[in-house]
Amino acid sequence: MNDKYEVIIGLEVHVQLKTKSKCFCSCPVEFGGLPNTNVCPVCLGLPGTLPVLNRKAVELAIKAGLALNCQIIQKSSFARKHYFYPDLPKGYQITQYKEPLAVNGYIEIEDSKIRVRRLHLEEDSGKSMHCGTETLVDFNRCGVPLIEVVTEPDIKSPEQTVQVLQVLRQILRYLDVSDCDMEKGHFRCEPNISLRKVGEKKLGVRTELKNLNSLRSVREGLQFEIERQKKILDNNEEVIQETLFWDEQTKTAGSMRGKEESEDYRYFPEPDLPVLVISQSEIERIKKSLPLMPWQRKAILISNYGLSENTAEIIVETKEFVDYFEETLKEINDPHLVANWLVTEVRGILNEKGILIQDFSISPSKLAELLRLLKTEKISNKVAKDIFNEMLITDKTATEILNLKDLTLVDDEDLLFNTVKEVLQENPEVVAKYKAGKTTVISYLIGQVQKKTKGKLKPQKIQEAIIKQLE
Amino acid sequence: MNKDSSKLKNREEITQLTIKEINQKIKAKEISIFEVVSEVTNRIKAEDQKINGYISLYFEEALAQAKRLDETISNYDNINPLYGIPIAIKDNICVKDKLATCGSKILSNFISPYDATVVEKLKQANSIIIGKTNMDEFAMGSSNETSYYGPVANPKNTDYVPGGSSGGSAAVVAYGGAFGALGTDTGGSVRLPASFCGVVGLKPTYGRVSRYGLIAFASSLDCIGTLARSVEDTAMLFETIAGFDEMDATSVNFPVKKFEFDYSLFKSYTLGIPREYFTEGLDFRIAKIIDEKIKELSKECRAVKEISLPNTQYSTATYYLICTAEASSNLARYDGVKYGLRISARTLSELYELTREDGFGQEVKRRILIGTYGLSKGYYDEYYGTAQKVRNLIKQDFDEAFKNCNLILTPTAPNLPFKLGEKISDPLAMYLSDVYTNSINLAGLPAISVPVGEIDNLPVGLQIIGPAFEETHLLNCAKMVESLCK
pLDDT tens digit sequence for A360-412: 999 999 999 999 989 887 788 888 998 898 898 888 888 888 877 766 666 77
Query: What are the chain B neighbours of A46 within 8 Å (beta carbons)?
Result: 112-114, 339
Closest chain B residue to A47 measured between Cα atoms? B215
- The reported pLDDT for the residue numbered A463 is 86
**A383/A145: higher pLDDT:** A145
Closest chain A residue to B100 measured between Cα atoms? A47
φ and ψ at B89, to 5 degrees? -120, 130
Interface with A, mutate which of B102, B338, B351 (most A CBs under 10 A): B338
At A261, the pLDDT band (50, 70, 90 cuts) reads low
B106 Cβ under 8 Å from any chain A Cβ = no
Cα→Cα distances B107→A259, B235, B318, Å: 35, 32, 29
- Partners of residue A109 on adjacent β-strands: A112
Which bin fits B440, alpha (ψ -120 to 50), beta or left (φ > 0)?
A: alpha
Does residue B257 have a pLDDT over 50?
yes
Per DSSP, the residues of B301-353 read SSEEEEE--GGGGGHHHHHHHHHHHHHHHHGGG-SSSSSS-----SSHHHHHH
Closest chain A residue to B114 measured between Cα atoms? A41
- Residue type for position B334: Y
Shortest Cα–Cα distance, A365 to chain B (Å): 47
Q: Report the distance separating Cα A132 and Cα A112, nearest Å.
A: 48
Does residue B7 have a pLDDT over 70?
no
Interface with A, mutate which of B101, B115, B335 (most A CBs under 10 A): B335
Query: What are the chain B neighbours of A271 within 8 Å (beta carbons)?
Result: 218-220, 250, 326
Interface with B, mutate which of A272, A273, A275 (most B CBs under 10 A): A272
Strand ranges (E), A30-83:
71-72, 75-76, 79-82
Contact B380 A84 (CB under 8 A): no
Interface with A, mutate which of B117, B375, B386, B391 (most A CBs under 10 A): B375
Interface with B, mutate which of A21, A49, A98 (most B CBs under 10 A): A49
Residues whose CB falls within 8 Å of the CB of residue B119, separated by 6 or more in sequence, listed in order: B89, B93, B94, B95, B96, B129, B213
- The reported pLDDT for the residue numbered A262 is 59
Q: Report the distance separating Cα B162 and Cα B92, nearest Å.
A: 18
CB neighbour burial string for B263-299, b if at least 16 within 10 angstroms, e if fewer: eeebeebebbbbebbbeeebeeebeebbeebbeebee
Rounded to the nearest 10°, the torsion over CA B433, B436, B439, B441 is -70
Catalytic residues of B, by residue number, are 90, 165, 189
Reported ipTM? 0.95
Beta pairing class for A145-151 and A187-197: unpaired
Tell me: the pLDDT tens digits for A217-241? 999 999 999 999 999 999 999 999 9
Q: Report the distance separating Cα B205 and Cα B211, nearest Å.
A: 12
Does residue B295 have a pLDDT over 70?
yes
- Partners of residue A8 on adjacent β-strands: A194
Q: Could you tell me which of B123, B141, B76 has the C-alpha nearest to residue B323?
A: B141
Does residue B8 have a pLDDT over 80?
no
- The reported pLDDT for the residue numbered A259 is 44
Closest chain B residue to A79 measured between Cα atoms? B329
**How many CA atoms are closer than 13 Å to the CA of B204, on its beta-carbon side?**
29
Shortest Cα–Cα distance, B37 to chain A (Å): 29
Count of CB contacts below 8 A, A vs B? 98
Does residue B50 have a pLDDT over 60?
yes
Nearest neighbour of A89 by CB, restricted to B219, B249, B333: B333
Contact B380 A268 (CB under 8 A): yes
Does residue A1 have a pLDDT over 50?
no
Contact B339 A90 (CB under 8 A): no
At A435, the pLDDT band (50, 70, 90 cuts) reads confident
Across B35-39, B345-349, B403-407, least confident range: B345-349
Contact A53 B249 (CB under 8 A): yes
Q: What part of B 361-380 touches A (C-beta under 8 Å)?
A: 372, 375-377, 380
B31 Cβ under 8 Å from any chain A Cβ = no
**Mean pLDDT, to the nearest integer, of A418-440?**
88
Q: Report the distance separating Cα B165 and Cα B194, nearest Å.
A: 10
Q: Report the distance separating Cα B200 and Cα B400, nearest Å.
A: 27
Share the mean pLDDT of chain B: 95
Does residue B461 have a pLDDT over 80?
yes
Closest chain A residue to B216 measured between Cα atoms? A48
- The reported pLDDT for the residue numbered A409 is 67
Nearest neighbour of A271 by CB, restricted to B247, B326, B328: B326
At B389, the pLDDT band (50, 70, 90 cuts) reads very high
Contact A266 B352 (CB under 8 A): no
Q: What part of A 247-266 touches B (C-beta under 8 Å)?
A: 264, 266
Shortest Cα–Cα distance, B409 to chain A (Å): 29
Shortest Cα–Cα distance, B385 to chain A (Å): 9
Q: What part of A 65-94 touches B (C-beta under 8 Å)?
A: 80, 82, 84, 86, 89-92
Closest chain A residue to B102 measured between Cα atoms? A47
φ and ψ at B29, to 5 degrees? 55, 25
Tell me: the pLDDT tens digits for B59-115? 999 999 999 999 999 899 889 999 999 999 999 999 999 999 999 999 999 999 999
Q: Report the distance separating Cα B94 and Cα A42, nearest Å.
A: 13
At B1, the pLDDT band (50, 70, 90 cuts) reads very low
Per DSSP, the residues of B412-429 read S-SS---BTTSSTT-HHH
Shortest Cα–Cα distance, B186 to chain A (Å): 14
Q: Where are the alpha helices (DSSP H) in B79-160?
A: 117-124
Contact A137 B107 (CB under 8 A): no
At A132, the pLDDT band (50, 70, 90 cuts) reads confident
B352 Cβ under 8 Å from any chain A Cβ = yes
A26 Cβ under 8 Å from any chain B Cβ = no
> Is A442 in a helix, a strand, or coil?
helix
Shortest Cα–Cα distance, B350 to chain A (Å): 12
Query: What are the chain A neighbours of B377 within 8 Å (beta carbons)?
Result: 264, 266
At B5, the pLDDT band (50, 70, 90 cuts) reads very low
**A453/A71: higher pLDDT:** A71
Query: What are the chain A neighbours of B356 within 8 Å (beta carbons)?
Result: none
Beta pairing class for A187-197 and A207-210: antiparallel
Q: Report the distance separating Cα B161 and Cα B417, nearest Å.
A: 6
- The reported pLDDT for the residue numbered B272 is 98
Shortest Cα–Cα distance, A47 to chain B (Å): 5
Shortest Cα–Cα distance, A86 to chain B (Å): 6
Shortest Cα–Cα distance, B328 to chain A (Å): 10
Query: What are the chain B neighbours of A273 within 8 Å (beta carbons)?
Result: 249-250
Q: How many H-runs (helices) and E-runs (strands) does chain A carry?
A: 16, 16
- The reported pLDDT for the residue numbered A470 is 83
**Mean pLDDT, to the nearest integer, of A14-42?**
94
Closest chain B residue to A138 measured between Cα atoms? B338
**Mean pLDDT, to the nearest integer, of B356-380?**
95
Share the mean pLDDT of chain A: 92
Q: Report the distance separating Cα B32 and Cα B2, nearest Å.
A: 7
The three-point CA angle B376-B382-B387 to 5° equals 100
- The reported pLDDT for the residue numbered A6 is 95
Closest chain A residue to B330 measured between Cα atoms? A90
Nearest neighbour of A84 by CB, restricted to B211, B213, B335: B335
Tell me: the pLDDT tens digits for A63-98? 999 999 999 999 999 999 999 999 999 999 999 999
Closest chain A residue to B381 measured between Cα atoms? A268
Contact B329 A51 (CB under 8 A): no
- The reported pLDDT for the residue numbered A406 is 66
φ and ψ at B186, to 5 degrees? -105, -35
- Partners of residue A176 on adjacent β-strands: none
* Percent over 70 (pLDDT), chain B: 98
**Mean pLDDT, to the nearest integer, of A328-347?**
94
Q: What part of A 106-135 touches B (C-beta under 8 Å)?
A: 135
**Mean pLDDT, to the nearest integer, of B211-230?**
98
Nearest neighbour of A273 by CB, restricted to B212, B249, B380: B249
Contact A48 B116 (CB under 8 A): yes
The three-point CA angle A42-A43-A49 to 5° equals 20
